[in-house]
A = this chain, B = another copy of it.
Amino acid sequence: MVENVADTPQAPVEDNRLNPMFVDDVVAALEAGDIERVRLLADPLHPADVADLMEQVEAVDRAALAAALGDKLDADAFAEMNDYVRDDLIDALEPQQVGDLVQQLDTDDAVAIIEDLDADDQREVLRSLPADDRAAIEEALSYPEESAGRVMQRELIAVPEHWTIGQVIDFLRENPDLATDFWEIFVVDTGHHPVGTMRLSWVLRTPRKVAVADVMQREQTLIPVDMDQEEVALRFQKYALISAAVTDATGRLVGVITVDDILHIIQEEAGEDILKLSGAGDGDVNEPVFETVKVRVRWLMVNLGTAILASLVIGLFAATIEQMVALAILMPIVASLGGNAGTQTMAVAVRALATNELTESNTSRQIGKEIKVALMNGAVIAIIVGLVAGLYFANAHLGWVIAVAMVGNILVAGLAGVLVPLTLDRFDIDPAVASSVFVTMTTDVMGFFLFLGLAAATGLTPAG
């Protein structure tokens, strides 16, 4: 019978999530000290679900759960775990125990665990490893963080061009030490430079006597070892790659990146933008409270600065407001809608920059489009706001002032929404990090200035 890990009724896992009642059961067994039952419950779980279980229980229960799970909490489960939760658990282990876990993993997963340790622990864990594992991991750690060199595995299959398919198959069958899970076979020259690649399905469909050179595809996408992981992910996605060869500065084949690592990166990077835009840092639910406070308060301070700037603009018109309090009542509408319109444009621009859809070739077209959209949306909103405000306060002059200010601010918003991210990108600043602050600062300041300034300049009075 097929065992479907996710769809059996009352399964511990439903819709890719651990069933909350299942988690409660485990916690109850844990609190009752019933280790047997914890193990029985956890037995059918996939390593990814063991990792989830560890994340779902309260922090105080994690050490006890880890002890109860024993071998079920294996290296694969550690590899799947949230960074914060994993670091907590790893901190409680001896370097020798960490070394044992790490040895069971591919280099990329091992590096992911070791790179987060502090320098002393890192040295001790590395010392506990066999020489060749240690060398591989030390080499990986020598590459910049978030580069291809950190993500790649060294375990790969490479064969010479002059072999036949039969020789390849025999080589694979006769060498038990080779990797068991791979998706492509790389063809290399005598200097270990990649010259081609074969998908396994091609190897399987080809008669034994055919030469490798006749099956392999010569064009292939190579990943330089120092390429940023975000670029690697875009390349995988664009060319629909399952795995890709990684080469060093001299063009030698040094590793392979497989798509399962890329899935994590794409989701992380795409999800990061939303968190960065809001100034929420990593935005990890498992982040300790104090870390979260530190990250967020920094952006709140920046926001405080821009809010004070906007207040100073209002202060310029204190006399006008004193004369006519309706202006104070209405001014947040102009700022708020400008902010919203700017955020819409900015979100589109930030995404388009991240996915390489907004480029030098189409920038001016995009700016032209945003001007058109802003004028149309501005007109619609201005007519409504102008009518509502004019009628409510029985003051046609006020209606005109707010309508004109609204069109102006939505136009400012459209321009800021596209120009701010573009400018940051040109200066190699991540547009997702800083755009939001600049855009809403611009729309707040300009919103108050246009509305109050126009009121003052046209001599608006409560009588209209």
Binding site for B on A (CB under 8 A): 1-7, 15-18, 20, 23-24, 46, 48, 55-58, 80, 82, 169, 172-173, 178-183, 193-196, 199-207, 218-222, 224, 231, 234-242, 251, 259-260, 262-264, 266-267, 270-271, 273-275, 277-280, 283-286, 289, 292-293, 296-297, 299-301, 303-304, 306-308, 310-311, 314-315, 318, 321-322, 325, 328-333, 335-337, 340-341, 343-348, 350-352, 354-362, 365-366, 369, 372-373, 376-377, 380-381, 384-385, 388, 440, 444, 448
Measured in the bound complex, the distance between the Cα atoms of B345 and A280 in whole Å is 7
Measured in the bound complex, the distance between the Cα atoms of B14 and A6 in whole Å is 42
Contact of A314 among B241, B273, B328, B340 (CB under 8 A): B328
Q: Which residue of B lies closest to A280 (CB)?
A: B344
Given contacts A178-B205, A224-B7, contact A16 B234 (CB under 8 A): yes
Query: Are B220's CB and A201's CB within 8 A?
Result: no
Q: How many copies does the complex hold?
A: 2
Q: How far is the CB of A385 from chain B (nearest CB, A)?
A: 7
Query: Are A351's CB and B283's CB within 8 A?
Result: yes
Query: Are A300's CB and B24's CB within 8 A?
Result: no
A307 cross-chain contacts in B, Cβ below 8 A: 332-333, 336-337
Measured in the bound complex, the distance between the Cα atoms of B384 and A133 in whole Å is 53
Given contacts A204-B169, A267-B237, A347-B275, contact A221 B341 (CB under 8 A): no
Query: Are B356's CB and A16's CB within 8 A?
Result: yes
Taking A48-B238, A292-B373, A303-B336 as known contacts, 9 extra A-B pairs with beta carbons closer than 8 A to each other, sorted by chain A number, are A271-B351, A274-B347, A274-B351, A280-B344, A285-B358, A289-B369, A307-B336, A318-B325, A321-B328
A348 cross-chain contacts in B, Cβ below 8 A: 275, 280, 283-285
Contact of A359 among B56, B241, B300 (CB under 8 A): B56
Query: Are B274's CB and A359's CB within 8 A?
Result: no
Q: Which residue of B lies closest to A350 (CB)?
A: B274
Query: Are B372's CB and A289's CB within 8 A?
Result: yes
Supply 26 A–B pairs (Cβ within 8 Å), ascending by A.
A4-B221, A7-B224, A16-B234, A16-B356, A48-B238, A56-B362, A240-B263, A242-B242, A266-B267, A271-B273, A271-B351, A275-B347, A278-B340, A279-B344, A280-B347, A283-B352, A284-B348, A285-B357, A289-B376, A296-B373, A300-B341, A301-B384, A307-B337, A310-B336, A311-B329, A318-B325
